[in-house]
Structure 1
Amino acid sequence: MADESQCSWIYPEEPHMYPSSVAGGYIPLKIGQKLTTGPWDTEFTVLRKLGWGASGSVWLVHSEHYHFSAMKVLTAVESKACSQQYRYELEALTRLQQLKEDAAAQSKPLPLGSHYCIPSISLFAVDSTHSGHWAILLPVCSSSLEKFIGDAMKKNIGFRFELNHIKRIVRQVSVGLHFFHATGMVHTDLKSSNLFIPLEGQYTSELSEYLHTHPALAYDPHVDLQISPEPIITFRSQTLPRIGPTSFDQWHVCLGDYGEAVPVEKTHELTSKGQDVMPASMRAPEVTLHAPWGQPIDIWALGALAFELVTGDMGHIFDVSPVSGMNIDEIRLARIEELCGPFPKSSVLNAPRGKSFFDSEGRLLKPLLGGTSSRGTLHQRIELARPDWSKQDILETEGFLKRCLMIDPAVRPTVKELLDDQWYSHVAYH
Structure 2
Amino acid sequence: QWSHHHSGDDIQPTGLRAPEVILGHPWDQGVDVWSIGCLVIELIAGTPLFAINPFTKEWTLDEDHLAQMTDVLGEQFPADMLSKSQNREKFVKEDGTFIHSAVPREPTWHLRSFLTSEYSLIRSNEKEIGGAYDFLRRCLHLRPGDRSNVKDLAEDPWLSTGSQTESTSSIV
Tell me the TM-score normalized by structure 2.
0.81
Map Cα deviations across residues 307-365 of structure 1 (whole Å, 9 max, x no partner): 0111011xx32111133211111111011111122222221232111232222232322
> Which is greater in Rg?
1
Matched, 1:383 2:116: yes
Asked if the contact 1:383–1:394 (Cα under 8 Å) also holds between the matched residues in 2, the reply is yes
1:339 pairs with one of 59, 72, 79: 72
Provide the aligned length of Structure 1 versus Structure 2: 160
- Preserved contact between residue 303 and residue 405 of structure 1 (Cα < 8 Å): yes
The structure where helix makes up a greater share of residues is: 2
Q: Which has the higher strand share?
A: 1
- Per the TM alignment, residue 423 of structure 1 is displaced from its structure 2 partner at its CA by 1.4
Deviation digits for residues 142-200 of structure 1, max 9, x if unmatched? Answer: xxxxxxxxxxxxxxxxxxxxxxxxxxxxxxxxxxxxxxxxxx4xxxxxxxxxxxxxxxx
Q: How do 1:9-408 and structure 2 match up within 5 A?
A: 184=1, 263-267=2-6, 270=8, 275-313=9-47, 316-324=48-56, 325-341=58-74, 342-367=76-101, 370=104, 372-384=105-117, 385-386=119-120, 388-408=123-143
Structure 1: 5+ residue stretches without partners: 1-183, 185-262
Matched, 1:419 2:154: yes
- Retained in 2: the 8 A contact 1:375–1:381? no
Q: Is the 1:299–1:415 contact (alpha carbons within 8 Å) kept by the matching residues of 2?
A: yes
For residues 270-312 of structure 1, the C-alpha deviation after alignment (integer angstroms, 9 at most, x for no partner) is 2xxxx32100111000110111112111111111110011101
Q: Secondary structure at the match of 1:281?
A: helix
Instruction: Name the aligned partner's letter for residue 403 of structure 1.
Output: R
5+ residue gaps in structure 2? none
Q: Percent identity?
A: 28
CA RMSD of aligned residues (A): 2.3
Contact map agreement 2:59 2:100 (CA 8 A) in 1: yes
> Partner amino acid for 1:265?
H
Tell me, yes or no, if the aligned pair for 2:115 and 2:123 is still in contact at 8 Å. Answer: no
More displaced stretch, 359-368 vs 376-385: 359-368
Deviation per residue, 1:64-104 (Å, 9 max, x gap): xxxxxxxxxxxxxxxxxxxxxxxxxxxxxxxxxxxxxxxxx
User: Does the Cα contact within 8 Å between 1:349 and 1:355 map onto a contact in 2?
Assistant: no
Poorly superposed stretches of 4+, deviation over 3 Å: 367-370, 385-388, 425-429
**Contact (CA 8 Å) 2:25, 2:86: kept in 1 or not?**
yes
TM-score, normalisation: structure 1: 0.35
Instruction: Specify the code of the residue in structure 2 equivalent to 1:382.
Output: L
Q: Which amino acid aligns with 1:357?
A: F
**Structure 1 residues 323 and 398, CA gap change in structure 2 (3 angstroms):** same
Deviation of 1:426 (Å):
4.5
Distance, in Å, in 2 between the alignment partners of 1:323 and 1:353 is: 22
| Counterpart AA for 2:107 | S
Task: Say if 1:379 and 1:388 are closer, same or farther in 2 by CA, change over 3 A.
Answer: closer
For residues 388 and 288 of structure 1, the distance between their equivalents in structure 2, rounded to whole angstroms, comes to: 32
